Amino acid sequence: MCYIMRFNKFLGFKFILTALIVCLSLSNFQAVARQASAPAATEAAASTTEQSASTASGSIGETPSAVSESASDDASTLASTEDSVAKTAMYKSATFYVLLFVLICIFVGVIGKVLHVYELTREIQGKPGKINWNKVQAALCIIAVLVLFYGTYWTYKTWGGLATRPAGSEHGERIDTMMIITITITTIVFFVTQFLLFVFAFKYKGSEKRKAYFYPHNNFIERLWTIIPAAVLVILVTLGFFNWRSITNPSEDQIKKALSVEVTGEQFKWNVRYAGDDNALGRRNYKLTTPTNGLGIDFTDKKSWDDKLGGEIVLPKGRPVRFTINSKDILHSFFIPELRVQMNAVPGMATYFQFVPKYTTEEMKEKTGNDKFEYILLCNKICGTGHYNMQYKVRVVEEKEYKEWIAKQPLYYNDDMKKEMQEKAAKQDNKLALNIQK
């Protein structure tokens, strides 16, 4: 009877505490939802309209300054939207997850106490045996490993296609081969080790009839699990090292043969400059940057006179392309996923990436089975509020089509640039004349 009385006292306290926390949680959720509904709804509507407007206009880095409400939004639609936004705001609240964690802990504690009372009740009734927790945990190990293996299978089946998408460049196929080799090895090791871990835990669960064998040391096993992983890692790292060097350290002859293109990142757009007939880009100097000369090109360098602007990036299939990558403000990242190209754009320091496009955009549409496929240049560094908008279209075409396209592109050294250069020269002449008079 003493046990029963103690349990009733504990159970009453637990229920009161649980009810109190549930009431506090519900009131807090309602308050959070009411406070977040108005500003969150406005923010969500503005963000949605901003993205759709940016997509429709096709501009890079430009966002609308005003948001207007659609006339087709009726009361029911707006009410549904506000309700959805309110729930989203509630789930984003840290208080929600703290209270959820507390409730889960209380639930687990109550279940544990109920099981403990169950054991005490059986003991009072003179019924033999308690719950064998060793067997329970052993069974849970088997369930856990089955769930783990199924989750791995589901992940590979659902998302595995991302690792097997065709690469649009020659070096991309080598990178994909390395990735497949690494995933295959780690998957085999994962399944073998987890199977042994959980099955051993099940087979050799604690038992009063058996005493654990003390096995502190085995030289052979330690050599085995040290040498084999080390050898595998050495092979993978060596393979990666030579592949990376072949990508990032081309020979001087390969550099000279490659088409020279410069890409400069800034918040929140990309600027593209193609070398002219001499395949040499003109010098840059950030001190020369003006509203007209946004890239700070030094036009005293005659190599810059035939440089061309690119409204998009167009690359010839099968021809080496060398990108010179810069940044005007903060750290960006030059990233074309389907070409397996990525390199940081660092302020004040040029970086380079050279590769050979293997498939045209049209060929990739056939290979992927996606009629809307496009190569897209992205920024892979979170560089600010407009980061999502740093997208630039990339097309890979045949050599003939590329030559026709590049011939139509405007020169960077245009009439506005020439006028600005003449004005600067005139000002310098005036200053020189004034100095001479003095």
pLDDT at 91: 57
- Span 236-250, pLDDT tens digits: 999 999 988 888 888
Could you give the CA distance from residue 343 to residue 338 in angstroms, rounded to a whole number?
A: 14
pLDDT at 10: 47
pLDDT at 65: 36
pLDDT at 143: 93
pLDDT at 48: 44
pLDDT at 317: 93
pLDDT at 110: 87
Q: Helix, strand, or coil here: 306? A: coil
Largest Cα–Cα distance of the chain, in whole Å?
119
Q: Report DSSP state, residue 261.
A: E
CA-based nearest residue to 85, from 52, 49, 50, 44: 44
Could you give the CA distance from residue 280 to residue 294 in angstroms, rounded to a whole number?
A: 19
Q: How far is CA 238 from CA 175, 242, 355, in A?
A: 13, 6, 21
User: Are residues 146 and 191 in contact, defined by beta-carbon separation less than 8 angstroms?
Assistant: no
Give CA 403 to chain center in angstroms: 35
pLDDT at 40: 45
Tokens of 61: 């880095």
Residues of the chain with pLDDT under 70: 1-92, 128-130, 415, 421-438
pLDDT at 231: 94
Could you give the CA distance from residue 33 to residue 149 in angstroms, rounded to a whole number?
A: 39
Q: How buried is 203 (Cβ within 10 angstroms: 0-12 exposed, 13-18 middle, 19+ buried)?
A: exposed
- Span 387-408, pLDDT tens digits: 888 998 999 999 999 999 998 8
Tokens of 43: 């923010």
Could you give the CA distance from residue 168 to residue 317 in angstroms, rounded to a whole number?
A: 10
pLDDT at 74: 54
